[in-house]
């Protein structure tokens, strides 16, 4: 089963989504998500210029070998662009394998372990009252977990605040990123009040989360975590810049608030110390950004030895899912979808964005031999 065609497709009005489409000589098509938010065209170029030529005529059955070939074969290893490109190939090859065998990929990986997944809603607002009301909307809609973020008084803008009236959080802001002024002292004063008001008004009957967006020093993070302990957080996310894994030792010394991190990680080496020393409670590496199913499975198997759970929004863009998806949910963890069923979620989700060609700005790169 040889790969005979590889397409890199960049599309979607308002933001970019990147899809790698691999076709085999017996007509099986596999899709891989190559979307690296904010750096989509870098992955597209990496795939088109450096990876696609290596794939043509390669045996699509050799998933692990292809992963090692792309990772070890290049002089430059790791990094979000490289690992997202490798991840897209890996996901597409698993997709092909599942279709070739007529089995969902999760079955090839050992079978289902859960009947559903718990997800959280992104509640936010311009004030504490607005945010609490927004969180209440999610709870009324059936969500079991809610993340609260609010505009910090005195600052012109605060990252992570949802715009519009819907329940969907869209982090993409347009062609150029905005520049914001940050004030840690104001944040450290405000965040505990936001969390306290949420618990005071909505109670403890749901999981409460908060994202610090890597903006604190380790000592500040320890102080915030300690101040949040009475409110029984599900997790405090991205407490401090995560490239310094040892910094989490300092946070751990000062608080028992559960810690989650990893959305910007792209390899097992980024979280080796964090997991091995039990410095975090949730590892949030994303399958497309951390080398695909093959490499993320390695991270999760490693995490299983030390307890950190796998936490990640179900959708790669962080979009919330409604009540009907929650009715089947059991358990308390927020797991990563450990497997992509053959051809189903990935292909359908991405193809759904290819509608309305008149509005689509598409860059299509194709390489065949």
Q: Which residues are catalytic?
A: 159, 213
Number of residues that bind Mg ion (CB under 5 A): 3
Question: How far is residue 20's CA from residue 85's CA, in Å, rounded to a whole number?
Answer: 9
Cα–Cα distances (Å) from 361 to 15, 46, 170, in that order, read: 10, 20, 19
| Dihedral (CA of 305, 293, 338, 334) sign | positive
95 contacts Mg ion (rule: CB under 5 A): no
- Stretch of 104-112, 170-178, 204-212, 288-296 lying at the interface with Mg ion (CB under 5 A): 204-212
281 contacts Mg ion (rule: CB under 5 A): no
Interface mask (CB under 5 A) for Mg ion, residues 46-75, using x and -?
------------------------------
Write the DSSP string, 278-293.
Answer: T--SEE---TTTTTHH
- Stretch of 116-124, 173-181, 203-211, 247-255 lying at the interface with Mg ion (CB under 5 A): 203-211
Helix (H) or strand (E) holding 43: helix 40-46
**67 vs 234 by CB, closer to Mg ion:** 234
**220 vs 238 by CB, closer to Mg ion:** 238
Among 318, 269, 287, smallest CA distance to 106 is for 287
- Token readout for 291 is 């080398």
**160 vs 192 by CB, closer to Mg ion:** 160
The CB-side HSE value for 35 (13 A sphere, CA atoms) comes to 21
Question: How far is residue 30's CA from residue 197's CA, in Å, rounded to a whole number?
Answer: 47
**237 vs 270 by CB, closer to Mg ion:** 237
- Token readout for 72 is 């070890």
238 contacts Mg ion (rule: CB under 5 A): yes
Question: How far is residue 90's CA from residue 346's CA, in Å, rounded to a whole number?
Answer: 13
Select the residue whose beta carbon is closest to Mg ion and give its number: 238
Give the residue, chosen from 7, 211, 220, 270, that forms a contact with Mg ion under the rule CB under 5 A: 211
**286 vs 339 by CB, closer to Mg ion:** 286
- Stretch of 97-105, 233-241, 334-342, 349-357 lying at the interface with Mg ion (CB under 5 A): 233-241
Least distance (Å) from Mg ion to the CB of residue 120?
A: 12
**51 vs 146 by CB, closer to Mg ion:** 146
Q: What angle do CA 212, 215, 221 make, to 5 degrees?
A: 70
- Stretch of 16-24, 66-74, 163-171, 232-240 lying at the interface with Mg ion (CB under 5 A): 232-240
Residues 6+ apart with CB under 8 A from 64: 294
Least distance (Å) from Mg ion to the CB of residue 212?
A: 8
152 in Cβ contact with 183 (< 8 Å) = yes
SS3 354: helix
Residues 284-323 that bind Mg ion (CB under 5 A): none
- Stretch of 229-237, 295-303, 307-315, 356-364 lying at the interface with Mg ion (CB under 5 A): 229-237
Indicate the DSSP class of residue 50.
I
Least distance (Å) from Mg ion to the CB of residue 262?
A: 9
Among 50, 38, 119, smallest CA distance to 88 is for 50
Least distance (Å) from Mg ion to the CB of residue 155?
A: 18
Residue ranges that bind Mg ion, judged by CB under 5 A? 211, 237-238
């Amino acid at each position: 089963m040889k790969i005979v065609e590889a397409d890199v497709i960049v599309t979607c009005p308002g933001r970019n989504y990147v899809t790698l489409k691999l076709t085999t000589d017996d007509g099986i098509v596999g899709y891989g998500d190559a979307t690296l938010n904010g750096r989509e065209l870098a992955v597209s170029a990496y795939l088109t210029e450096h990876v696609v030529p290596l794939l043509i005529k390669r045996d699509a059955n050799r998933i692990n070998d292809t992963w090692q070939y792309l990772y070890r074969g290049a002089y430059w290893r790791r990094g979000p662009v490289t690992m997202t490109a490798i991840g897209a190939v890996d996901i597409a090859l698993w997709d092909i394998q599942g279709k070739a065998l007529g089995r969902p990929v999760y079955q090839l990986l050992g079978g289902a372990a859960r009947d559903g997944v718990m997800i959280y809603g992104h509640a936010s607002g311009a004030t504490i009252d607005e945010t609490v009301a927004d969180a209440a909307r999610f709870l009324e809609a059936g969500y079991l977990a809610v993340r609260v973020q609010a505009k910090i008084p005195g600052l012109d803008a605060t990252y992570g605040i949802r715009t519009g009236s819907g329940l969907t959080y869209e982090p993409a802001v347009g062609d150029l990123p905005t520049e914001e002024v940050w004030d840690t002292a104001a944040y450290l004063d405000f965040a505990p009040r936001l969390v306290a008001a949420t618990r005071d008004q909505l109670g403890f009957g749901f999981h409460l989360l908060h994202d610090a967006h890597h903006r604190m020093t380790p000592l500040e993070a320890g102080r915030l975590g300690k101040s949040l302990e009475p409110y029984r957080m599900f997790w405090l996310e991205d407490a401090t810049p995560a490239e310094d894994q040892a910094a989490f030792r300092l946070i751990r010394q000062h608080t028992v608030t559960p810690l989650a991190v990893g959305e910007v990680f792209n390899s097992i080496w980024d979280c080796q110390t964090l997991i091995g020393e039990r410095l975090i409670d949730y590892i949030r590496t994303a399958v497309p950004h951390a080398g695909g199913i093959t490499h993320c499975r390695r991270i999760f198997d490693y995490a299983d030895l030390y307890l950190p759970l796998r936490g990640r929004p179900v959708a790669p863009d962080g979009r919330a899912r409604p009540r009907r998806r929650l009715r089947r949910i059991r358990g308390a963890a927020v797991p990563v979808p450990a497997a992509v069923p053959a051809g189903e979620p990935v292909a359908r989700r991405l193809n759904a964005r290819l509608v309305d060609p008149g509005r689509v700005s598409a860059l299509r790169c194709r390489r065949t031999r």
